[in-house]
Structure 1
Amino acid sequence: MSATDQELFDAGEQLGELLARDGRMIATAESCTGGWVAKALTDRAGSSSYVLGGLVTYSNEAKEALLGVTRKSLDEHGAVSEPVVREMVAGALAATGAQVAVAISGIAGPGGGSDEKPVGTVWFAWGCDPASTEAVVQQFEGDRDQVRRQAVLFALQGVRAYLVEPAASR
């Protein structure tokens, strides 16, 4: 199932309203979504009050240079992994000074998958600091566009849920 343009807009608007209400700025660190999360957040007028910036770090070299992802994590776990998305969140927070960051790295297809990480595998992380960062993996079905749309929607909804859940439950 693919996320519609309206669903993406609504999810971006809901997260944006929450960020604005709380006076928080967000930064995105995206790989397979190519900046689509940042786009969804900035589709609404006034988004400069809650979007600090976004980094599209598609290559491993960009993940290292712009976000400080370690070569060790990339070599041992691959770009599509929990350690890498956690490091992407930490790097986005450090690079931008945002209060919240979201990171996405996945295999949108049609190629690039393996038995261990098939097409549609996407790792997400979000957090306000490295200690409270949450990471989760999802397996999406569909073509490249459908996988990317589902990943964007999941990321927007995941960050929103993270921000509204009580800190004590983390």
Structure 2
Amino acid sequence: MNNDDQVCYTFEAAIEMAVQMEEEGFRHYLKALRIVKDKAAKEILRDAAFDELEHKHQLEKALIEGEVAGEGMDRPVPTMNLDYVLGKKELGPRADAREALAFAIHLEKGSLDFYRRMSQGCAGAPMAKLFDRIYNDESRHLQELEDLYEEHFLTEN
């Protein structure tokens, strides 16, 4: 763990970091969309890119309003931790829906790790609750991706 993991930022600095992290996620999806040819893979990546844009938009609104509006989840959603069994790799032109989902699961797991570190760095401070809430919401997104993966690729035969 580096020293940045134990730092609690001001509201504005923390939100700016979160906006940057969401922007980077969006850029990863955009890059993959430009490469991948498979229609189903493109649809998965497009939906995930739109989710990142929505997260970024909500965070930018928080900068204007001085708070993150809306109701958040009280607890994280349990996930299957598929990122541990799915290989992390860059997508090529022949990537299919399975590979696109694995790619998205890894990116979403990276977001979860970011918000967990931010929450831990602010333990005991009001900012910790904000990052816990965002973490909990992000866990729901990860679960949705894992459920989709399970539904299509982990079926019992």
- Give your verdict on TM over 0.5: no
Whichever of the two has the greater Rg, that structure is 2
User: Larger relative contact order (C-alpha < 8 A, sep ≥ 6)?
Assistant: 2
Task: Return the structure number with greater helix share.
Answer: 2
TM-score of the two chains, using structure 1 as the length reference: 0.27
TM-score of the two chains, using structure 2 as the length reference: 0.29
